[in-house]
Amino acid sequence: MVFRSYRSVIFIIFYIHSHLIRALIIQNIYKLLDYIFGKGALCLMWSARWIVLGVFACCLFQASLAHAELFPDAGPPGTTVTIGGGQFGDFVSTEVNRVLFSGTPALIQSWESDLVMVKVPLRAKSGLVTLIGQDGSISAGTFSVQTAKLTTLIPAEAEPGDMLVIEGAHFGNSAGSRDPNTMFGVNQVMINGVRAQVQKWRPNKIEVRIPANATSGEVTVRLASSDPLPDGSCCAPVKYATSNGLHLNLIPHVEFQPTEGPVGTKVVLSGQDFLVGKSPTDAVYFNDQLATVAEWGARTIVVHVPLNATSGPFVLNYGGRKRTLGQFHVVESHVDKVSPTHGPIGTLVRIQGEHFGVFSEGGSTAYAFDFDPGRNAVEFGGVPGIIHRWQDTEINVWVPFSAKSGPIVIKRGANIPHADGTCCAKQADVQLTAGSFTVVTPRVSSYSPKSAGLDELVTIQGSGFGSFIKISESTRLELHHEAHEWQTYELGSDVSRSEVLLNGTAAQVMAWTDSEIQVRVPRRQVFGFGTPRGFVTDLTEGEIVVRRGSWDILENGKCCTPKKWVNAVAGDFTILKRGLPDPDYFNIPNPRRD
């Protein structure tokens, strides 16, 4: 149905075209007769008009039998040409019915008595187009064969995966069928012998995606043939008419991550063929500000955002070529909330906001976490805290043992390199005050009872107890660093940092607030327990102690000193031998004996 509609439209165009010509000629004849015979012969002219029309129509009809028109009359090989306006007779066979372009046979796609459609053959030359049928041959006019021509590549230098725009002329209306099983060939764009994926195809512009395996070389357009076999049937093996070539320079793709962050952020460039070792002219720039190169390898380059960096182009200068890899956005850290704002040592403080970056990114590895925090820190009254978790939107930090009341300051370390990109012409911290923190000391005002049996509750009241730390972690925070490096490590015995000791042994905490603590009297003291120093038989008498523990950062900036404690002694306490099982408990282990 689509083909029939197309053929009908072509026929109507030719029909209207011929009738418009006839009307213009008749009008001119009428004016000529009016001029010769004058106004008095008007009736004679009206009578003669029908005679002239009949004679002229017969002449035009006879002329149409021997004349045909083709559309378009110019194009590259593979162009579909429509021939109409004549009486071509019926289609007999591909051997009888032929269309020749300057003697070169073309593939017939459709043959009707008044309309023929053919493909311009690959070897066609400009010249006469002839239709051959069972009644003889008819001239359809002349056809000008055009050659695909490339004029411009945009851009002339690109990376694999980029879009390439090819400007020129005579590319044809489309790339052809996308069906790999089609009987016709598909037009192609080749980049140094590698076929590119066509995105858009127009007669004077083609857009393609540069394949990942392409290399620098000539870009050409290949127009596929649609030629017949010697007997006129479909189809001869596909061949190509190749355009002129234009050189495209392909450069290796370089990726960088992240694309934004505060000063001091580690940025890793990933690519190929950087060569091991940095030459004096190789450099990385953040909006024209030179960055310190921490590592330059064959596939990765590690740099840090310099202290004076601003948002703008991220540029790699390598091998005498400057390449803008993208945009890097330098952001400033911002604090939204700090909680709590007071507490004893060992309190876990949560700082919420944005653009805090990554804590341990001061090293030269290509990893986001290489256990080197550089100068990044959080201080309480000038004393650095112990970082528990540092994320871009939240920092969790323990209040150190030596903390002082005062401002909470977030520090991010950065530097400015020497002219050759080595560290460092200047090192400094960018400081952000998050708020203030008041360090309080735990104090016990009262407790009751002063003696109790096993599993009974003891209530301790006072102030500055802080929050109960529910996280159980090893004594040394650097243990996971050692494990990552496959080092032998040992766990310590003190894993708690908020505890209540009853007669020297930790009791089970039932409730803990800043002003009140409830613990359960343990059983172990009554039965005794062993230690490396010997067996202790009786710990029923002693004292109640509320303890808060924390650490300090070492002088070299690493974590941490051994745990230290702040003790709040409540007073003496006696564990009564109340609630002990009766002697038969050990002899008759029957749950229903009671």
DSSP secondary structure, 479-512, as one string: HHHHHHTT------S---SEEEEETTEEPEEEEE
Residue 536: its pLDDT value, please? 79
Query: Cα–Cα distance between 73 and 580 in angstroms, integer?
Result: 112
Residue 281: its pLDDT value, please? 87
Residue 333: its pLDDT value, please? 95
* pLDDT over 60 at 41, yes or no: no
* pLDDT over 70 at 184, yes or no: no
Judge contact between 283 and 269, C-beta under 8 A. Answer: no
- Per-residue pLDDT, averaged over 156-179, amounts to 86
For residue 231, how many C-alpha atoms fall within 13 Å in the half-sphere facing its CB? 3
- Per-residue pLDDT, averaged over 517-529, amounts to 87
* pLDDT over 90 at 431, yes or no: yes
Q: Report pLDDT digits (tens) over 238-265.
A: 899 999 999 999 988 899 999 999 999 9
Residue 344: its pLDDT value, please? 95
| Spatial CB neighbours of 248, under 8 Å, sequence gap ≥ 6 | 153, 156, 157, 158, 164, 191, 192, 216, 217, 218, 219
Which of 180, 217, 175 lies closest to 199, judged by CA?
175
* pLDDT over 50 at 486, yes or no: yes
Judge contact between 341 and 436, C-beta under 8 A. Answer: yes
Residue 370: its pLDDT value, please? 75
Query: Cα–Cα distance between 21 and 557 in angstroms, integer?
Result: 97
Lowest mean pLDDT segment, chosen from 157-171, 292-306, 580-594:
580-594
Residue entry with tokens 């000791």: 501
Q: Which neighbouring-strand residues pair with 353?
A: 335
- Per-residue pLDDT, averaged over 545-570, amounts to 89
Judge contact between 229 and 235, C-beta under 8 A. Answer: yes
In which band, very low, low, confident or very high, does the pLDDT at 491 lie, cut at 50, 70 and 90? Answer: low
* pLDDT over 50 at 584, yes or no: yes
Residue 461 φ then ψ, to 5°: -115, 150
Residue entry with tokens 């708020």: 435
Start-to-end CA span in the chain (Å): 97
* pLDDT over 70 at 165, yes or no: yes
* pLDDT over 50 at 563, yes or no: yes
In which band, very low, low, confident or very high, does the pLDDT at 196 lie, cut at 50, 70 and 90? Answer: very high
Residue 98: its pLDDT value, please? 94
What 3-state class would DSSP assign to 36?
helix
Q: Report pLDDT digits (tens) over 348-376.
A: 999 999 999 998 888 888 886 677 888 99
Query: Cα–Cα distance between 36 and 38 in angstroms, integer?
Result: 6
Residue 57: its pLDDT value, please? 38
In which band, very low, low, confident or very high, does the pLDDT at 481 lie, cut at 50, 70 and 90? Answer: low
Which of 252, 223, 251, 225 lies closest to 238, judged by CA?
225
> 437: which DSSP letter?
E
Peptide bond just before 424 cis, omega within 30 deg: yes
Query: Cα–Cα distance between 312 and 500 in angstroms, integer?
Result: 56
Query: Cα–Cα distance between 123 and 5 in angstroms, integer?
Result: 31
Query: Cα–Cα distance between 450 and 452 in angstroms, integer?
Result: 7
Which of 73, 87, 71, 80 lies closest to 128, judged by CA?
73
> 40: which DSSP letter?
G
Q: Between 129 and 45, whose confidence is greater?
A: 129
Query: Cα–Cα distance between 151 and 186 in angstroms, integer?
Result: 22
Query: Cα–Cα distance between 410 and 270 in angstroms, integer?
Result: 31
> Are 149-250 and 256-429 equal in CATH topology?
yes
- For the 443-575 domain, the top CATH level (class) is mainly beta
CA 469 to each of CA 73, 473, 479, 496, 512: distance values in angstroms, whole numbers, following the listed order:
88, 10, 19, 8, 10
In which band, very low, low, confident or very high, does the pLDDT at 315 lie, cut at 50, 70 and 90? Answer: very high
Residue 48: its pLDDT value, please? 40
- The CATH label, of 1.10.260.40, 1.10.357.10, 2.60.40.10, 3.40.50.620, for the domain at 149-250 is 2.60.40.10
Q: 10 Å Cβ neighbour count for 327?
A: 12
* pLDDT over 60 at 227, yes or no: yes
CA 463 to each of CA 368, 380, 460, 514, 517: distance values in angstroms, whole numbers, following the listed order:
42, 21, 10, 6, 10
* pLDDT over 60 at 469, yes or no: yes
* pLDDT over 90 at 409, yes or no: yes
Q: Taking the domains of the chain in order of start, what are their residue ranges?
A: 149-250, 256-429, 443-575
- Per-residue pLDDT, averaged over 315-327, amounts to 90
Residue 183: its pLDDT value, please? 54
* pLDDT over 70 at 30, yes or no: no
What 3-state class would DSSP assign to 8?
helix
Task: Specify the pTM.
Answer: 0.66
% of the chain at pLDDT higher than 90: 55
Q: Between 7 and 435, whose confidence is greater?
A: 435
Query: Cα–Cα distance between 535 and 334 in angstroms, integer?
Result: 56
Query: Cα–Cα distance between 449 and 458 in angstroms, integer?
Result: 6
In which band, very low, low, confident or very high, does the pLDDT at 154 lie, cut at 50, 70 and 90? Answer: very high
Judge contact between 263 and 427, C-beta under 8 A. Answer: no
In which band, very low, low, confident or very high, does the pLDDT at 479 lie, cut at 50, 70 and 90? Answer: low
- Per-residue pLDDT, averaged over 331-343, amounts to 95
Judge contact between 220 and 149, C-beta under 8 A. Answer: no
For residue 382, how many C-alpha atoms fall within 13 Å in the half-sphere facing its CB? 1
Q: Between 390 and 279, whose confidence is greater?
A: 390
Residue 247 φ then ψ, to 5°: -80, 135
Residue entry with tokens 């004549």: 86
Q: Between 213 and 594, whose confidence is greater?
A: 213
% of the chain at pLDDT higher than 70: 80
Lowest mean pLDDT segment, chosen from 229-233, 296-300, 339-343, 525-529:
525-529
Q: Between 85 and 414, whose confidence is greater?
A: 414
- Per-residue pLDDT, averaged over 514-543, amounts to 86
Residue entry with tokens 């005062």: 406
Q: Between 561 and 312, whose confidence is greater?
A: 312
* pLDDT over 80 at 220, yes or no: yes
Cα–Cα–Cα angle for 263, 266, 267, rounded to 5 degrees: 105
Peptide bond just before 560 cis, omega within 30 deg: yes
| Spatial CB neighbours of 390, under 8 Å, sequence gap ≥ 6 | 356, 358, 359, 360, 376, 396
Which of 447, 445, 438 lies closest to 466, judged by CA?
438
Burial (CB count <10 Å: 0-12, 13-18, 19+), residue 518: middle
Pairing of strands 136-145, 74-75: parallel
* pLDDT over 90 at 272, yes or no: no
Whole-number average pLDDT of the chain: 83
Range 256-429: architecture per CATH: Sandwich (2.60)
